[in-house]
A and B are shown apart, each in its own frame.
Chain A
Amino acid sequence: MKYLTEFRNGEIAQRMAREIAAVTTRPWKIMEVCGGQTHSIIKNGIDQMLPTGIEMIHGPGCPVCVTPLELIDKALAIAAQPGVIFCSFGDMLRVPGTEGDLFQVKGAGGDVRVVYSPLDAVDLAVKNPDKEVVFFGVGFETTAPANAMSVHVARRRGLKNFSLLVSHVLVPPAIAAILESPGNKVQGFLLAGHVCSVMGYREYPSLAEKYHIPLVVTGFEPLDLLDGIRRCVIQLEAGRHEVENAYERIVTFYGNQAAQKLLAEVFEVTDRAWRGIGVIPKSGWRLSEAYRAFDAEERFQITGIHTEESPLCRAGDVLRGAIKPAECAAFGKECTPRHPLGATMVSSEGACAAYYNYGRFLSAEELAGAGIGLTGGPNV
């Protein structure tokens, strides 16, 4: 646990929280982009340690949450086909499509498997030459290199029975979309540390300059998060808008260049629909021309998908930071992790599930009644 326990020290955390309180003179709204950060903030109770007025807004960086419903429905349709081995990361299995989820496809006889690496899916394709093996390649820049490697290896090995159902999304266009959305409240960002470990942070100075907004590359442990918040608040209080790296033990300015080279070869930039948000131009990756033969959407030609979102679900407003989960009328009532109406209630990284699971002792009614979430309140 070296390099983890050191960043979970409660005493140092309390000291950092006091430092943040000491430099804060007025309210600030800061968005953590990444769902992993949301998870850690709520799990550790970082939000309860912040001074009144510092409000954390939970961003759209949960791959499970933003994968479009249409693609989930395609996944369900492909996974249900005989002769298909459908592979996915674990937490995609419970994301509701228009009808059912991958667990139910599995229960009905579909060959759905949880794998821990896309390369395991490639191995399955080698071992099962009479089956079509499909990997559900979702996520941000973080998961992209391993997904790219899977098709790269599949092509090198001449595999004809492996394909990728891709819905990759990118952080910088999402930040720009949030900042340009009407009624935006976000004044500073904690950038997703893992995304930056792959991509570096050279994409961000232009955003900081254009929108006059501080951006701090931030890790995931409690002390990482508090340091990111502290640096962001200091910038906001000083009226500065720079890109800072608070996750230096992992992230460099240029990132992982070997991974970037592979990504450039395998993927090309495309417009992407984000569940609950809509289409953001040039906000995702699809397989490049050279790898198009490995695209599951091309291979399976699923048509006749009619998607239907719950009319009650306000996941889109949550993902944009426009409302807190508890401000949605369905939160904790029609919509719970047991009966999720939207993906934000499914993934452990989803803002609604994080609130429901870790903040529930204040009760949904209390939260909604107060018109606030757990964050930004007085120290508990």
Chain B
Amino acid sequence: MSDDLKTGVPDFSGWSCPLPLVGYPAIVMGHGGGGKLGNELVEHLFLPAFRNPELENLGDAAVLDLGGGRLAMSTDSFVVQPLFFPGGSIGELAVNGTVNDLAVSGAEPKFLSASFILEEGFPLAQLAAIVEAMAQAAATAGVKIVTGDTKVVERGHGDGCYINTAGVGLLRPGISVSPLHAMPGDAILVSGTIGDHGMAIMSVREGLEFESQIRSDCAALNGMIAEVLAAAGPAVHTMRDPTRGGLASTLNEIALASGVGIEIDEPSLPVRPEVQSACELLGLDPVYVANEGKAVFFVAPEAADIILAILRAHPLGKDAARIGRVTAEHKRMLVARTAMGANRVIPIQIGEQLPRIC
């Protein structure tokens, strides 16, 4: 092992950062965990290689000015296991994930592509169920799947079914939301309970099955977001959907991108009791657990109550809550006010969240 690692150490001298990925010369699972390792790949590998102004925005979708109008474009790959879980399947995820990335960029999602990487031996009945779920999710979200691709890999070279979707949408005129636009004074709203999707997946993952009523929150958010933007568009500065890495990773990314401090009131975070209990049991923190049907809004404080009311009136936003504010203090950091009245920093994760020993 050690010899492989030694010979595998690449030459990092040309890299842009003085602290490159020296600790991990090969890909580890944490590079896909939505935390610091993944960010390092983006910062030190993808960005320097592909550098352009559209990419550098690092939004959930790229904003493209095509002369006649502004377009948003986004892509995402889905490798979830198990493929079917309480509250959904990889099919709904693949559609809603890309729809939501477009929606939180302020765009109206229009068209999607779908690429399938299938493993030899994968049951056609399961593929049909996934495709049916995608068709229904697309209809619900009001988008069309207009192009696609299928590849098959040998048995053992895939995990049944991987899906990539890409999507384009039209940016609404007069709306300018971006992870760069959070500003001191902004109120922070979340559209509902956090951690539902991640714990629903955990509850059925091999080796960890536990009985629970937790269902994934997988849903298309474009309808709810359209209502918010129609009523108070200019007051919305930043929107994100806190998926992999959870609310904490999203808020940390916004704090870094906008160069502001973020304060949240821990007791105000909406968490279902069953999700909280499962997290306690496994030694996990719900702020790091994935969501697939939630949005976070950074809004002008005077518009916060109106937007909260709009969210709560929508079926996907009935548990919406005001959870914190943006501050000029402790720039680039996420700080939580605990129930005890003390402060703690909620850091960016290194890789995957690891269950504790005891």
Contacts and interface: CB of A to CB of B under 8 A. Distances in A.
A118 B344 CA distance: 33
Nearest to B339: A10
Interface in A57-79: 63-64, 76-77
A152 interface: no
Contact size range, B: 35 or more
B231 interface: no
Given A8-B339, A44-B338, A77-B1, A116 B208 contact: yes
Contact size range, A: 35 or more
Contacts of B350: 94, 337-338
Contact of B340 (A13, A94, A105, A106): A13
B125 interface: no
A90 B356 contact: yes
Contacts of A143: 357-358
A46 B4 contact: no
B330 interface: yes
Interface string A90-131: 111110000110011111101001111000100000000000
A359 B26 CA distance: 31
A104 B5 contact: yes
A347 B339 CA distance: 24
A258 interface: no
B148 interface: no
B341 A104 contact: no
A116 B28 contact: no
A43 B344 contact: yes
A188 interface: no
Majority DSSP secondary structure for residues of B touching A: loop
Contacts of B240: none
B347 A90 contact: no
Given A4-B280, A91-B357, A93-B354, A338 B27 contact: no
Interface in A178-229: 194, 222
A347 B358 CA distance: 11
A357 to B, nearest CB: 5
A123 to B, nearest CB: 9
B123 interface: no
B17 to A, nearest CB: 12
A291 interface: no
A1 B276 contact: yes
A342 interface: no
Interface in A302-325: none
Interface of A: 1, 4, 8-10, 13-14, 36, 42-46, 48-49, 63-64, 76-77, 80, 89-94, 99-100, 103-108, 110, 113-116, 120, 138-140, 142-143, 194, 222, 337-339, 347-349, 356-361, 380
Given A100-B1, A108-B5, 4 more contacts: A45-B342, A94-B351, A99-B2, A348-B354
